[in-house]
Amino acid sequence: TSFKEIARQSGRLPDGGKYIYVFSLKGEPLCKYVLDHYIYGIWVDEATKTIIATDVNNDEPILKFNFG
């Protein structure tokens, strides 16, 4: 979804974002995750390949995503 498309939408827009971008330590893009929820803060556990995130638009605001 582009910024122009978001601006054209009517009604209430959800808070947060649906994408997580991963970069190398040199700032090079490595990958992009597209999520099925709009999220705020994230916590990454690389050992278990898990992302914990918060969704303020949901009655159950703690979400868990597996990656890798």
Higher-confidence residue of 56 and 30: namely 30
Predicted pLDDT of residue 1: 57
Distance of CA 23 to the CA centre of its chain: 14
Most confident of 7-11, 30-34, 57-61: 30-34
pLDDT band at 12 (very low <50, low <70, confident <90, very high): low
Structure tokens of 30? 């490595």
Q: Is 4 helix (H, G, I), strand (E, B) or coil?
A: helix
Structure tokens of 13? 């827009």
What is the rounded CA–CA span in Å between residue 62 and residue 60?
Answer: 6
Residue with tokens 């868990």, as numbered in its chain: 64
Higher-confidence residue of 57 and 13: namely 57
